[in-house]
Structure 1
Amino acid sequence: MNRFYSIIKITIPFFFIILSVSHNLNAQQNHDDFWNSVRFGGSVGLSFGDGFFSGTLAPSAIYEFNNQVALGLGLNGTYNSQKNFYKSTIFGGSIISLFSPINEIQLSAEFEELNVNRKWEDDLGIADENYWSPALFLGAGYRNGNVTIGIRYDLLYDKNKSIYADAWAPFVRFYF
């Protein structure tokens, strides 16, 4: 847990520095320009096979301060089930920061907090679980128009609690 708080102590000031610099760069914007700078996007996930099903809906919105910096919020809802084994629901949100040093490259930092509620089949004798799972992703991707394809790494990955199979995860991100 100390590692988590150390990373948060570093990340939060960095987040506010980017926010402050970006705000100062755009101090002249008026209210109409605000909505012209908001982009909506997200992802939809579907996975199934041999008694397993997983579905995810993860909408998000970002505010583009300029062509290089954007900050936003995301939501996540996931349902998983493995026949005769378990069912889980996962809900949460995230704070997203994007930085593009050049148009084709996008760097990202995303803090995600998810509530995991897992119910095991009664005959297995495993206690049901309900816990919070934090993740702090740092990523890099290739951007072409509204779509970015890349890879991200979870600095807080815990193989016993994370909903992800690995700390490394590919992503496809889109905003319109």
Structure 2
Amino acid sequence: MKKNHHLAILRSFFILTTLFSSSFLLAQQQTITYKSQSDFWQKVQFGGGIGLSFGSGYTDISLAPSAIYNFNEYVALGLGVQYTYVKQKNYYASHLYGVSIIGLFNPIKEIQLSAELEQLRVNVDLDGSNSNSQDYWNTGLFLGAGYRSGNVTVGARYNVLNDTNNIYGTAFMPFVRVYF
């Protein structure tokens, strides 16, 4: 009888220990799951570009916010939007707006390689002539390289889809890229 009583106490102790350990382990698992959900936002960086240019009868204002997700220390992928207003007095006014997707590769900490696909809608209104106004899509595929220091990359990119109808004056463009 005492032997059965000791076995019952031992069995009860074992069951309670198992239940307590299971709930403790489950609580640890939930904490880890919660932490991994917040890791997504720790890998996201925001940045983009702002451009202002004024001259004799010329205005150029650009706003291009973007965000990237860092998969690891070497690879990031991101999305951006862009709006640009350009006006040459007594000649034309233009609105450009669109989206881009960018891939970044950092083979070493100081070097950043990039590929960016950009799709812009271009609206050009020639002064004094509504019949010569233009609305069209412009696609650019930029391959670039730059020197990276912290959150800033300075470099150049080349539009491999450049042609005579392109909205940019040249296929080769310098850039400064900042992500926080």
Same fold (TM over 0.5): yes
The aligned residue for residue 141 of structure 1 is 146
Moved more, 103-112 or 43-52: 43-52
**TM-score normalised per structure 2:** 0.79
Extract unaligned runs of 5+ from structure 2.
1-34
Deviations 1:71-104 (A, max 9, x none): 0000000001010000000000100000000000
* 2:93 paired with 1:87: yes
Once the two structures are superposed, the pairs formed by residues 32-47 of structure 1 within 5 Å of their partners are 32-47=38-53
How far apart are the structure 2 equivalents of 1:47 and 1:165?
Answer: 15
Kindly provide the amino acid, as one letter, of the partner of residue 81 in structure 2: L
Extract unaligned runs of 5+ from structure 1.
1-28
Deviations 1:6-58 (A, max 9, x none): xxxxxxxxxxxxxxxxxxxxxxx921100000000000011111100000000
Indicate the structure (1 or 2) with the bigger Cα radius of gyration.
Answer: 2
From the two aligned structures, give the one with the greater helix fraction.
Answer: 2
Runs of 4+ in 1 over 4 A off after TM superposition: none
Once the two structures are superposed, the pairs formed by residues 5-154 of structure 1 within 5 Å of their partners are 30-122=36-128, 127-154=132-159
* 2:176 paired with 1:172: yes
The higher-RCO structure (CA 8 Å, 6+ apart) is 1
Residue 40 of structure 2 aligns to a residue in which SS? Answer: helix
% identical aligned pairs: 57
* Aligned 8 A contact 1:159 1:165 in 2: no
Residue 30 of structure 1 aligns to a residue in which SS? Answer: helix
How far apart are the structure 2 equivalents of 1:86 and 1:66?
Answer: 45
RMSD: 1.3
